Structure 1
């Protein structure tokens, strides 16, 4: 299957007010999917607007925070978005980290992988009750859903099978994706080697345990891209990405990505500099060899082809680590999509 090129939305400004225009522009340019994130704003609200304004483009959360919501609340919202979009919605879930779940959302965070597994099972039990209008009976270690009356049941929809993706970096969540999910969001800080050595084997292990084929689980990611019209612009982008990567690589959570290349010692040094708040010294530790591993650098009309070659038989859908804003760089986006193997865009 050809690589799908998606668009990711930023969260700055009054982006919700212009979501109708943004969604139409993304579909008109030929993006395969449109993804929202949940940092400063809710991840679901923009997709309600987008669903009404589009006909073909996939609409997904990348990601919505699972543990900040009851499975019932998430199930209801996802059900409505799936109905509104006529089957184009993808529910992407993430765990966040303990500090944010406990101190920002005031919610429990114990056993996150096990909790997320049960969360997904609870969602599917709720959706089954919605679709069949039957009894709801889900009882687990973390969640209990045993009451559903006709007054609160939205009833069946035309496309009840809602794809569930989860996001992760380490092997526990990759195994869970293989066992239970429709897709897995690979973190932007990644390399093809890391996906081959860490993500794919873990997913295959989870799939085998569940009697599934891991090839049925779609892999999605966003990727750091350096591309400009002149050397000065390229150089500026390169250094900006170098700084971004140094931040990610300094965090212990992402150390597994460095391990795929034998660069653990660089991560330790970056972590020490971060603890000392020596932010300006960190980018210098990211060598050009590391940039080559983690970043795609190409002229705009070659980006799609480079992505297709880089992720062949590895990743199914890719968004650039650049927010899509309609009217800004439309020619750039058109050239990226046009250059993707198997993809064409109307002028």
Structure 2
């Protein structure tokens, strides 16, 4: 099981230092979310600053960029990293895609499936000079040597997608190389939903489920004193309330025995009561959806929870305190060597 660390994109003159610190600490890779800054530019700088570090987008927003633009960007990053780049894509939500990016969002699941296939068709075109993708949403059939990135001395980038509901999980198993599990994806959800649905999708394409990487972000509460853990617990509580406010994720809480959590969070959210949102996340929620431990016990706790079901785990909040990155790196080394 590989261990990555998650970060939001940083100013370009800072991300090189972050990448070097992550590599020196002993992590397998660095995963970039995409917020107000682009994941791709950060990955490009990191690839030069920390050669050998595995890099991935987790996730970049797909629809605002054409499949060809995304494929060409991923291709250059794969070349720059010597084959250590994974392209992680997601739909985002309607409000962001339509009102912030000014793009269409109809039928996002089928659109993303066609998008992934179109990206992979572009990879083939860069090697062969022939572009031929005719899908429901994207038709790509023209390329010339001048406008092709050309072959590279590395395999095609892996293409992963973010998925939560059963249909998207099956689609990931069918067309993607990996699945980015939601930050609320505790082991019960992975067992009940991710594993069987990814397997069903893989079977549809004649693949083994082992061909699809399961990439799981994990929230940790770690410290050797009650005071340390109490502070981190409240940060995790706030993060969970943010993610748990999305209606499409309500079933994750419900399946784990916390029925109505999303409705209660949204009631506080509509009133602008952010402290009230966090208060809906009980210590029982945290015990189920996060991993709490002392430093000596953290590696074992993560292996026990995610070993055998996750291909990669991504430490969600390891960079929140730069003074502790080396301690998290020691945990990562112990997990990858186990």
TM class by shorter-chain length? over 0.9
- Answer yes or no: is 1:50 the counterpart of 2:46: yes
**Cα distance in 2 for residues equivalent to 1:334 and 1:162:** 26
2:181 alignment partner in structure 1: 186
The answer to whether residue 88 in structure 2 is matched with residue 92 in structure 1 is yes
Note if contact 2:19-2:49 (Cα within 8 Å) is conserved in structure 1. yes
Residues 1:290 and 2:285 are matched in the alignment = yes
Change (3 A) 1:292 1:183: same
Find the counterpart in structure 2 of residue 71 from structure 1.
67
The answer to whether the 8 Å contact 2:8/2:34 transfers is no
The residue that corresponds to 2:311 in the other structure is: 316
**How far apart are 1:71 and its partner, in Å?**
0.5
State whether residues 246 and 283 of structure 1, in contact with CA within 8 Å, keep that contact through their aligned partners in structure 2: yes
Structure 2 unaligned residues grouped into runs of 5+: none
Cα distance in 2, alignment partners of residues 325 and 310 from structure 1: 22
Name whichever of 135-144 and 41-50 sits farther off.
135-144
Deviations 1:258-311 (A, max 9, x none): 122132223322222222333322333322222110010011232122111110
The answer as to whether partners of 1:301 and 1:335 remain within 8 angstroms in 2 is no
Moved more, 246-255 or 313-322: 246-255
- State the SS of the aligned residue for 1:87: coil
The answer to whether 1:219 aligns with 2:214 is yes
CA displacement 1:117-167 (0-9 Å, x = unmatched): 11111111111111012x222222211112111111121111132100001
TM-score normalized by the length of structure 2: 0.94
Alignment of structure 1 residues 1-347 onto 2, 5 Å: 3-11=1-9, 14=11, 16-133=12-129, 135-322=130-317, 324=319, 328-340=323-335, 342=337
Say whether the 8 Å CA contact 1:301–1:339 is kept in structure 2: no
TM-score when scaled to structure 1?
0.92
Compared CA separation, residues 332 and 113, structure 1 to 2 (3 A): same
Structure 1 unpaired stretches of 5+: none
Structure 2 CA distance for aligned equivalents of residues 279 and 172 of structure 1: 32
1:21 match: secondary structure: helix
Cα 1:86–1:11 change in 2 (3 A) is closer
* Alpha-carbon distance between aligned partners in 2 of 1:202 and 1:195, rounded to the nearest angstrom: 10
Alpha-carbon distance in structure 2 between the residues aligned to 1:221 and 1:26: 18
Between 285-294 and 65-74, the greater mean CA deviation after superposition: 285-294
Deviations 1:10-35 (A, max 9, x none): 345x3x21222222222222111111
Q: What whole-Å deviation, never above 9, does each CA across 1:81-118 have from its counterpart, x for those lacking one?
A: 11111111100001000111111111111111111111
Q: Is the 8 A contact 2:22 2:325 kept in 1?
A: no
Distance 2:169 2:90 in 1: 12
Q: SS in structure 2 opposite 1:80? A: helix
Q: Against the structure 1 CA distance between its residues 78 and 27, is the aligned structure 2 distance closer, same or farther, given a 3 Å change threshold?
A: same
The answer to whether the 8 A contact 2:3-2:336 is kept is: no
Label 1:330 to 1:250 Cα distance change in 2 as closer, same or farther (>3 A): closer
Higher helix share: 2
